[in-house]
Amino acid sequence: MSGFIAQGGFFMYPLLLIALVIGGLAIWTTVRLRRGSGPDPVLETGIDATLFWGGWAVLLGLLGTFGGVYQAAGHIQRAGEVAPALAWGGIRVALTTTLVGLAIFIVAGLIWFALRVGYRRRAA
């Protein structure tokens, strides 16, 4: 797991931080949802924040990928002729952050949906 994180480079650390924020928001909103009744604008904002941070995870993942592809292209240009397997290996590493960002977004979307359904049931 730590090799996978190191493989993604610098952008993996903000992505992990966002994942922790989403997890914290999920716990906080779940506890607040179970305790209260009726409309709660603060709770609704917390629920929507999970999706917001998931969207940022995708954007950071894409930014990490573009940076990685740019860096790989620079190395390939300096090396001259490079075996295709080596070039694709660099691109594979660059795509790590996008995969992680999308995975975080999918989980955040599922959390958001579940919390939104719970909130609507409570408010009804």
Task: Encode pLDDT of 62-87 as tens digits.
Answer: 999 999 888 888 888 888 888 888 78
Mean pLDDT across 3-32: 91
Structure tokens at 13: 């650390």
How far is CA 91 from each of CA 12, 55, 103, rounded to the nearest angstrom? 16, 23, 19
Geometric angle at alpha carbon 44, from 40 and 48, rounded to 5°: 175
Q: What are phi and psi of 38, to 5 degrees?
A: 80, 180
pTM recorded for the entire structure: 0.88
Question: In angstroms, rounded to a whole number, what is the distance separating the alpha carbons of residues 86 and 82?
Answer: 7
Calculate the average pLDDT of the chain. Answer: 90
To which residue do tokens 């995975």 refer?
103
Question: In angstroms, rounded to a whole number, what is the distance separating the alpha carbons of residues 85 and 5?
Answer: 22
Reported as a pLDDT band with limits 50, 70 and 90, residue 16 is: very high
CB 26 within 8 A of CB 18: no
Domain extent for 55: 2-123
- 73 or 27, higher pLDDT: 27
Mean pLDDT across 25-36: 93
Q: What percent of the chain has pLDDT over 70?
A: 99
Predicted local confidence at residue 40, as pLDDT: 86
Number of structural domains (the chain) is 1
Predicted local confidence at residue 8, as pLDDT: 76
Predicted local confidence at residue 1, as pLDDT: 64
